[in-house]
Amino acid sequence: MSLWNHYQNLKLEGIRRGKNTMLYCAARIDENNVVVDTIVVDETDISDENGLSDTLTTTFCNNIRQVDGTWKWAGMFQEGQGELRKIEPGIGDNWDSVNSKFFQKKPHNSWILNSNFEWEPPIPKPNQTTKWNWVEETQSWELPDVGFEIAPEYSETSQEPDNENYLGRVE
């Protein structure tokens, strides 16, 4: 068959549809529902006429990785649907089989998972603008050990800091 005949026989609609598929993350979870491996997969490899499928994801990914395991699909964001399965998982993150959602690994032993699958510290962060570090040993928030200057009239509150009083970093 000539190249010209080959191109004439192509079903262009199918090719166009194939180029508009989404990429997803597939995560292999262990017996404790902890993510142990991830790969990027194409929507066409993990879905059928019924939509995205964990069964198809498991079959496809086990063949790719040459392993036996349980795989779950995830997508970070899709127009009109928002976040799919909460987060795009990474190694060490967790899977909640009841709610079919991934959530991040626990950052500190004292933090508690809330109903939105986000980790909360035992003491709320003083504010969201200043860079704070959680210190597990003292169960407190501390400013990072970097040089910076704060104007004397500035006082830390639970509200956002007044940027006019912030003098910037000292090098």
Residue-wise pLDDT tens digits, 41-63: 888 889 889 888 999 999 999 99
Q: Are residues 83 and 7 in the same domain?
A: yes
- Write out the DSSP string of the chain: --HHHHHHHS-HHHHHHHHTPPEEEEEEE-TTSBEEEEEEEEHHHHEETTEE-HHHHHHHHHHHHT---EEEEEEEEETTTEEESSS---TT-EEETTTTEEEPPPSSTT-EE-TTS-EE-SS--S-SSS--EEETTTTEEE--SS-EEE-TT----SS---GGGEEEE--
Q: Are residues 7 and 52 in the same domain?
A: yes
Residue 116 inside a domain? The answer is no
Residue-wise pLDDT tens digits, 151-167: 666 555 545 555 555 55
Q: Are residues 161 and 89 in the same domain?
A: no
| pLDDT, one tens digit for every residue, the chain (171 residues) | 555 666 566 665 554 444 445 778 899 999 999 999 999 888 888 988 988 899 999 999 999 999 999 999 998 555 555 567 888 899 999 999 999 999 999 999 999 999 999 999 999 988 877 788 899 999 999 887 665 566 666 555 545 555 555 554 443
The reported pTM is 0.66
Q: Which domain holds residue 152?
A: 133-169
Residue 122 inside a domain? The answer is no
Q: Are residues 144 and 61 in the same domain?
A: no
Asked if 46 contacts 56 with a C-beta cutoff of 8 angstroms, the reply is yes
Query: How many domains does the chain fold into?
Result: 2
